Amino acid sequence: MEPFKVSNHLKDVVSPYPEAKVISDVAKHGGESARHAIARLWLSEGIPFAFKNCPGIYESMRSWVASRLSIDPKELNVTGSARLGQSLAPSKIGKPFGDGSDLDIFIISCELFNKLKIDFNEWSYDFESGKINASNEREASFWRDHLHRVPKNVERGFIDSNAIPNYDKYSCAKNIAQTMFLLKAKLDVTADAPKFTHASVRCYKSWSSYVQQISLGFQ
The per-residue pLDDT for range 68-100, each reduced to its tens digit, is: 999 999 999 999 999 999 999 888 888 999 888
Range of 94's domain? 20-218
The 10s digit of each residue's pLDDT in 185-208 is: 999 999 999 999 999 999 999 999
Handedness of CA 113, 119, 125, 127 (dihedral sign): negative
pLDDT band at 65 (very low <50, low <70, confident <90, very high): very high
Give the chain as a 3 state SS string.
CCCCCCCCCCCCCCCCCCCHHHHHHHHHHCHHHHHHHHHHHHCCCCCCHHHCCCHHHHHHHHHHHHHHHCCCHHHEEEECHHHHCECCCHHHCCCECCCCCCEEEEEECHHHHHHHHHHHHHHHHHHHCCCCCCCCHHHHHHHHHHHHHHHHHHHHCEEEHHHCCCCCCCHHHHHHHHHHHHHHHHHHCCCCCCCCCCEEEEEECCHHHHHHHHHHHHC
The answer to the question of residue 123 being in a domain is yes
Domain count, the chain: 1
Query: Cα–Cα distance between 148 and 146 in angstroms, integer?
Result: 5
Q: What percent of the chain shows pLDDT beyond 70?
A: 100
The answer to the question of residue 12 being in a domain is no
Q: pLDDT value at position 89?
A: 85
The answer to the question of residue 26 being in a domain is yes
Q: What mean pLDDT value characterizes the chain?
A: 95
pTM of the predicted structure, to 2 decimals: 0.93
pLDDT for 116 beyond 80:
yes
The answer to the question of residue 5 being in a domain is no
Q: pLDDT value at position 69?
A: 98
Report how far apart the first and last C-alpha atoms of the chain are (Å, whole number).
Answer: 34
C-alpha angle with apex 187: 185 to 191, nearest 5 degrees?
125
The answer to the question of residue 166 being in a domain is yes
pLDDT for 124 beyond 90:
yes
The answer to the question of residue 157 being in a domain is yes
The 10s digit of each residue's pLDDT in 161-185 is: 999 999 999 999 999 999 999 999 9
pLDDT band at 6 (very low <50, low <70, confident <90, very high): confident
The mean per-residue pLDDT over the stretch 34-45 comes to 92
pLDDT for 219 beyond 80:
no
Q: pLDDT value at position 5?
A: 85
- Residue 119, CA distances (Å) to 126, 167, 172 in order: 11, 10, 7
pLDDT band at 122 (very low <50, low <70, confident <90, very high): very high
The answer to the question of residue 80 being in a domain is yes
Query: Cα–Cα distance between 39 and 27 in angstroms, integer?
Result: 10
**Under a CB-based contact definition with an 8 Å cutoff, are residues 202 and 180 in contact?**
no
The answer to the question of residue 8 being in a domain is no
Query: Cα–Cα distance between 154 and 93 in angstroms, integer?
Result: 26
